[in-house]
């Protein structure tokens, strides 16, 4: 299969959680780089802030009105939060990228999983973004743009120092292999 090394499965399975069950894409010649675990913290914090507001609101409302049924809201939020937290951990630990000879591969998701293959020569530009929370945790999001709006090639949770290097690497490779549209 092209220049890819089928034996790379060993690298691919280096993650702490196995992709499990059915075989899934791991034919990258280069090793998969898993994103930083700090992304879990970042996503958990964001999610629980919203849920926290909901829970507090529900509690206050039920105290004020004395309607015990309103307690269902915080209960539901808690359940949702528990499930969401589990999802976030699963998602983040499946999110990885690999830099092949000619293409960048981005792998994401566990329940809905996807692999995106972006040739370096097709990259129009690269974005590095980090919000306040992400900056505090020292991670950033690297997003690649091609001429196609369908290309979903963003890598969240790249360690900040690595993000800049990754961007430079991608840009250099892109320029070297730049192809017309």
Partner 1 sequence: MNDTTGYVYHAPREWTRLHPVSPLLGGWVFLGLILAYWIHNQLPAWVDGGDDNSLAFFDQFPFLWLVLAALLAFAATIGISFWQWRRTEYRIGDDAVYLRQGIVTRQQRQARLDRLQAVDVVQPLLARLFGFAAINVQVAGGQKSGVELKFLRLGDAEALRNEILALAAGVKEEKATGDDAAGTTAPTAAPDATTADTTASSGIRGHLAARAGALSNPEAVLSGTERVRTAVAAAEEREVYTLPLKRLLLSIVLSGATFFLLTLPFVGLIAFFVFRVDVVAAVGAAIGTSLVAIVTALAGLLGFFWTRLNGGFGFTAGISADGLRLRHGLTETRRQTVPPGRVQAIRLYQPFLWRGQDWWRITINVAGYGEDQESVSVLHPVATREEAIRAVWLVLPDLGDPDPYGTLGHALHGHGADGGFTASPEAARRVDPLQWRFRGVRATDRALLIRRGRWERELFVVPHERTQSLGLTQGPIRRALGLANVVVHSTQGPVTPVAAHLAVDDAIELLDAQAARAREGRRRQTPEQWMSAVGLETGASDE
Residues that bind partner 1 (CB under 8 A): 1-4, 21-25, 27, 102-103, 111-119, 121-122, 146-153, 177, 179-181
Residue number, 8 or 88, with CB nearest to partner 1: 8
Give min distance, CB of 135 to partner 1, in A. Answer: 28
Nearest in space to 126 (alpha carbons), one of 77, 168, 93:
168
Residue number, 85 or 116, with CB nearest to partner 1: 116
Q: Which residues are CB-contacts of 82 (< 8 A; sequence separation ≥ 6)?
A: none
Give min distance, CB of 87 to partner 1, in A. Answer: 13
Give min distance, CB of 144 to partner 1, in A. Answer: 9
Give min distance, CB of 48 to partner 1, in A. Answer: 25
114/112 Cα distance (integer angstroms): 7
Residue number, 148 or 161, with CB nearest to partner 1: 148
Residue number, 75 or 178, with CB nearest to partner 1: 178
Cα angle, residue 20 at apex, residues 34 and 8 outer, rounded to 5° = 55
95/71 Cα distance (integer angstroms): 36
SS3 at position 98: strand
């Amino acid at each position: 299969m092209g220049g890819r090394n089928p034996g790379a499965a060993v690298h691919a399975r280096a993650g702490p959680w196995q992709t499990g069950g059915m075989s899934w894409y791991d034919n990258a010649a280069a090793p998969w780089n898993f994103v930083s675990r700090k992304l879990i913290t970042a996503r958990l914090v964001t999610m629980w802030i919203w849920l926290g507001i909901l829970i507090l609101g529900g509690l206050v409302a039920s105290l004020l009105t004395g309607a015990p049924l309103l307690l269902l809201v915080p209960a539901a939020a808690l359940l949702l939060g528990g499930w969401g937290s589990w999802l976030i951990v699963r998602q983040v630990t499946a999110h990885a990228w690999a830099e092949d000879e000619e293409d960048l591969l981005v792998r994401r998701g566990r329940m809905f999983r996807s692999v995106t293959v972006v040739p370096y020569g097709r990259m129009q530009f690269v974005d590095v973004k980090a919000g306040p929370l992400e900056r505090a945790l020292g991670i950033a999001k690297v997003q690649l743009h091609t001429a196609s709006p369908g290309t979903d090639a963003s890598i969240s949770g790249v360690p900040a120092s690595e993000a800049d290097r990754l961007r430079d690497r991608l840009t250099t490779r892109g320029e070297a292999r730049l192809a017309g549209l």
